Amino acid sequence: MGVIDIKKIARTEQLFAPGHRACAGCGATIIIRQVLSVAGKDTVVGFATGCMEVVSTIFPYTAWEVPFLHVAFENVAAAISGVETAYRALKKKGKIKKKINFIAFGGDGGTYDIGLQALSGAMERGHDMLYICYDNGAYMNTGIQRSSATPFGAHTTTSPAGKKIPGKMQWRKDLTEIIASHGVPYVAQASPGYYQDLMQKVDKALSIEGPAFIDVLSPCPLGWYYPTKDTIKVAKLAVETKYWPLYEVENGVHRVTVKPRKFKPVEDWLKMQGRFRHLFKEENKWMIEHIQKEVDRRWEKLLKLEEAGL
Amino acid sequence: MKETWKELPIGAIIKEPGTSKRFETGDWRTERPVLDPEKCIHCMFCWIYCPDSSIKVEDGKMEGFLYEYCKGCGICAEMCPTKAITMVREEV
């Protein structure tokens, strides 16, 4: 498709209806809207338990204008693999002719933690599907508990910043690289702030035969403690501070898709969010440096991989 | 909604798409976005960044907001390149 013209897409039918019960300023619903506007009507969506499943399908209401399947927390990748296999069988018999996209969505809880086994299995079996993780970095739906996607130093209700610990003391798991190690044809990382990049990646992932995975940063005003109007600003700043590099791994080759001309210190991104407020106390200042070092290291590693054509 | 549980579809299947439109979330709002059509250049940034599918687009033109659903998050006003959208306090 190349460059995506949103003026053209804005004329087409909306596939995610208003009236869903997501918080004001939710990042994940923006992601869903951007993804669906590329995927189009011939799409089957599966959703793991999480914020977006809860807010979009409160019985008897649904915000989805495409076939939607809600499964348990851990098995959305397995469920969509099954649907895709059934589709292939029907296609072989000539009962279905058209091409259908299969997209499984999960939050970071349902992807990094609980659904990792099902996801790994689906990737290895090579189903023609796309898995999208909207990563808001904690179990936001149940009240902001830490997950393995929560960044170092972040305050959550199960890693509370106080006298004992200054927030979460472990690094975030690098899931994008874990899935890339499966050797699947397409893996990418995206942010809704860079909609063009995100939508192009979805388009590419859907056109490629075989499994694809996209990890999308999903700002959450409730759990990250920032004003609702700043969702896109936070999503953009995460990229500009190297915290969330936008890159893709196509057939094992890394490519950084967005290289900001000027980088900002990671402090700017942390400052916007209340979950990192305690880092700015005198005794915790070392953590900001620590985060900056790690962010720089991961970025340099990525550039080296790209340069080496790996 | 149907009257008794006996009429509900088995397995909580929702047979009709997009029924959430019958649930209005506009009353969550504390601030409402207001458009200045003079300044609007119809770039669709508000549309692509709206979490609530609440930007009214007709024939490729930005025509205002769906106030029945808009939760007043203010992302559109923040991202508008020409500052054509302002947030105004809701009065009861």
Q: Interface pTM (ipTM) of the complex? A: 0.92
Residue A2 pLDDT:
78
Size of the A and B interface in Cβ pairs below 8 Å: 128
Q: What is the mean pLDDT of residues A113-140?
A: 95
Instruction: Tell me, yes or no, if A56 comes closer than 8 A to chain B by beta carbon.
Output: yes
Instruction: Go through chain B and tell me how many residues it has.
Output: 92
Q: What is the mean pLDDT of residues A43-56?
A: 94
Domain ranges across chain B: 22-89
pLDDT tens per residue across span A1-19: 578 899 999 988 889 999 9
Instruction: Tell me, yes or no, if B68 comes closer than 8 A to chain A by beta carbon.
Output: yes
**DSSP H/E element including A177:** helix A175-180
Give the model's confidence band at A129: pLDDT under 50 very low, under 70 low, under 90 confident, else very high: very high
- A231 and B51: CB-CB below 8 Å? yes
Q: How many domains does chain A have?
A: 1
Instruction: Tell me, yes or no, if B7 comes closer than 8 A to chain A by beta carbon.
Output: no
For chain B, the farthest-separated pair of C-alpha atoms sits apart, in whole angstroms, at 54
Q: Is the peptide bond before A60 cis (omega within 30 degrees of 0)?
A: yes
Instruction: Tell me, yes or no, if B13 comes closer than 8 A to chain A by beta carbon.
Output: no
Partner residue opposite A232 with nearest CB, options B29, B43, B79? B79
What's the rounded Cα separation, in Å, for the pair A17 and A37? 12
User: What pairing do the DSSP bridges indicate for beta strands B31-35 and A212-217?
Assistant: unpaired
What's the rounded Cα separation, in Å, for the pair A163 and B81? 44
The mean of the pLDDT values for chain B is 91
Q: Three-state DSSP class for A102?
A: strand
What's the rounded Cα separation, in Å, for the pair A14 and B29? 22
Instruction: Tell me, yes or no, if A18 comes closer than 8 A to chain B by beta carbon.
Output: yes
Interface probe, candidates B13, B73, B83, B90, chain A, greatest A C-beta count within 10 A? B73
CATH of the domain at A188: 3.40.50.970
- A18 and B68: CB-CB below 8 Å? yes
B7, pLDDT greater than 90 = no
Contact A129, A179 (CB under 8 A): no
Q: What is the mean pLDDT of residues A103-119?
A: 95
Residue B9 pLDDT:
85
Q: What is the mean pLDDT of residues A148-174?
A: 94
Token readout for A44 is 């089957």
A143, pLDDT greater than 80 = yes
Residue A1 pLDDT:
57
B40, pLDDT greater than 80 = yes
Residue A298 identity? R
A73, pLDDT greater than 90 = yes
- In chain B, which residues have their Cβ closer than 8 Å to the Cβ of A8? 60
* Residue B48, Cβ density class (10 Å: 0-12 exposed, 13-18 middle, ≥19 buried): buried
Residue B89 pLDDT:
95
Angle (CA) A264-A132-A64 rounded to 5° is 115
Task: Give me the residues paired with residue A46 across strands.
Answer: A69, A104
A156, pLDDT greater than 90 = yes
B1, pLDDT greater than 60 = no
Residue B92 pLDDT:
75
Exposure b/e, A41-71, CB count within 10 A at least 16 = b:
eebbbbbbbbbbbbbbbbebbbbbbbebebb
Give the model's confidence band at A309: pLDDT under 50 very low, under 70 low, under 90 confident, else very high: confident
Nearest to A72 by CA among A7, A35, A11, A117: A117
Residue A154 pLDDT:
95
Angle (CA) A198-A199-A202 rounded to 5° is 90
* Residue A300, Cβ density class (10 Å: 0-12 exposed, 13-18 middle, ≥19 buried): exposed
A222, pLDDT greater than 90 = yes
B22, pLDDT greater than 60 = yes
User: What pairing do the DSSP bridges indicate for beta strands B55-58 and A43-47?
Assistant: unpaired
Q: Three-state DSSP class for A156?
A: strand
User: What pairing do the DSSP bridges indicate for beta strands B55-58 and A253-256?
Assistant: unpaired
pLDDT tens per residue across span B73-82: 999 999 999 9
Q: What is the mean pLDDT of residues A165-176?
A: 94
Residue B2 pLDDT:
54
Angle (CA) A262-A186-A260 rounded to 5° is 5
Position with higher pLDDT, A158 vs B7: A158
pLDDT tens per residue across span B42-83: 999 999 999 999 999 999 899 999 999 999 999 999 999 999
Minimal C-alpha gap between B71 and chain A (Å): 5
Position with higher pLDDT, A119 vs B92: A119
What's the rounded Cα separation, in Å, for the pair B48 and A99? 26
Considering the four listed CATH numbers 1.10.230.10, 3.40.50.1000, 3.30.70.20, 3.40.30.10, the one that applies to the domain covering B22-89 is 3.30.70.20
Q: What is the mean pLDDT of residues A94-100?
A: 94
Alpha carbon dihedral A5, A11, A16, A18, in 10-degree steps, equals 120
In which domain, by residue range, is A225 found?
A: 6-307
pLDDT tens per residue across span A234-288: 999 999 999 999 999 999 999 999 998 899 999 999 999 999 999 999 999 999 9
A61, pLDDT greater than 60 = yes
A63, pLDDT greater than 90 = yes
Instruction: Tell me, yes or no, if B73 comes closer than 8 A to chain A by beta carbon.
Output: yes
